[in-house]
Amino acid sequence: MCDKGYPVQIGVGDDAASVEIEEGSLVVTTDMLIGGIHFFSDASAEQIGKKAVVVNLSDLAAMGAKPLGLVYSIGAPGDTDVEFIPDILQAMNSTAREYGAYLIGGDLNEAKELIISGTALGTAKEDELLLRSGAKPGDIVAVTGELGASIAATKAVMSGVSLEDKESLKRAFFEPVARVEEGRVLSESGKVNSAIDITDGLAANLWQISRMSGVKLIVDEDKFPINKAAREFAEEQAIDMDEIVLFGGEDFELIFTVRSEAWDDLSEKLLDLGTEATKIGVVEEGSGVFIERGEGPEMLSDRGYEHFLG
């Protein structure tokens, strides 16, 4: 944690951490992960640490912010293996570094269950912040990457199906990714009117944009960029695809709405990062979220992702 340009003035060990900042907007987000709810009780320290960071950085990504640092509070049972917490912290730190952020402080406590509360700090210019409330009639509704891999992997693990030959599900489960660079591209374009990350599920997150922007969203089922392995898994297991794609959560992809004239340029810039974006619908005047399927648009259920044990 001592490379050139390291902005942390005071790290772990004093009453508080201190980071050098410039004038602008400080973006802050916090999330609590609880063992057995947000990660499996037998998850590895590396998996837990990585997810704790990705969950928070994904929220920064959805704001178009540049990550700066993270602080964490960890509660753990007294009989936790002595290496487990340091291993979680190491995974948090190395994951943070992958995104140009630093682990700058924290607090450890004894608790009945393993609990990780992370707070991520980022910076942005105020006029570039991506909000949930900015969608405008005429915008394209789009999504980065693919849908369904994370929840399909979780369902597979829960039903004892091996992920060994399911590379993309395995990756979604063990190596979740926050779309931080993509979020920066969206915000810098000046043409993206709203954004949110998919944590509660496509349906619930579309509803949040609809409600907060006061607009109607119409999405087309045939356009959804469904992960191939997730689709195969759902078919094999006879799981309703809606449960995977619409009501499954934690894809950590970004849903965004953008002026249509900016689409070509923006999708090309995302492709430069190796990320395909897909148009899945349009914004209209009105309210609610509708899905084109079968004989016409029907209102989409505003049902969120239920964490596996929550």
Binder to its own copies among 1, 41, 81, 107 (CB under 8 A)?
Answer: 107
Q: How far is the CB of 101 from its own copies (least distance, A)?
A: 13
CA angle 16, 100, 68 (to 5 degrees): 35
Contact 131, 194 (CB under 8 A): yes
Residue 132 assigned as binding residue? yes
Residue 59 within binding range of its own copies, rule CB under 8 A: yes
| 31 labelled binding-site residue | yes
Q: Which two tokens stand for residue 237?
A: 């297991």
- Between the CA of residue 7 and those of 19, 57, 181, 276, what are the distances in Å? 6, 18, 20, 32
Cα separations (Å) of 79 from 37, 71, 76? 20, 24, 8
Q: Which amino acid is present at 169?
A: L
Q: How far is the CB of 44 from its own copies (least distance, A)?
A: 21
- Among 82-90, 126-134, 148-156, 280-288, the segment contacting its own copies (CB under 8 A): 126-134
Residue 15 assigned to a binding site: yes
Q: Is residue 83 within the footprint of its own copies (CB under 8 A)?
A: no
Does 265 carry a binding-site annotation?
no
Of 48, 54, 150, which Cα lies nearest the Cα of 95? 54
Query: Which tokens go with 240?
Result: 């309703």
Give the distance, in angstroms, between the CA of residue 282 and the centroid of all CA atoms in the same chain: 22
**Dihedral angle at the C-alpha atoms of 280, 143, 32, 128, nearest 10 degrees?**
-120
C-alpha–C-alpha distance, residues 200 and 247, integer Å = 8
Q: Does 60 bind its own copies (CB under 8 A)?
A: yes
| 294 sits near its own copies (criterion: CB under 8 A) | no
Q: In the structure encoding, which two tokens stand for residue 291, read together?
A: 């899905």
Exactly one of 46, 80, 168, 212 binds its own copies (CB under 8 A); that residue is 212
Smaller CB separation from its own copies, 106 or 297: 106
**Nearer to its own copies among residue 21 and residue 271 (C-beta):** 21
- Which residues 21-50 are close enough to bind its own copies by CB under 8 A? 21-32, 34, 37-38
Task: Specify whether the CB–CB gap between 62 and 199 falls below 8 A.
Answer: no
Tell me how many residues contact its own copies (CB under 8 A). Answer: 63
Question: Which residues make up each annotated binding site?
Answer: 15, 29-31, 38, 59, 106-107, 132, 197, 199-200, 250, 305
Contact footprint for its own copies (CB under 8 A): 9-10, 13-32, 34, 37-38, 59-60, 62-63, 65, 68-69, 71-75, 104-107, 109-113, 115, 117, 119-122, 124, 126, 129, 131-133, 195-197, 212, 310
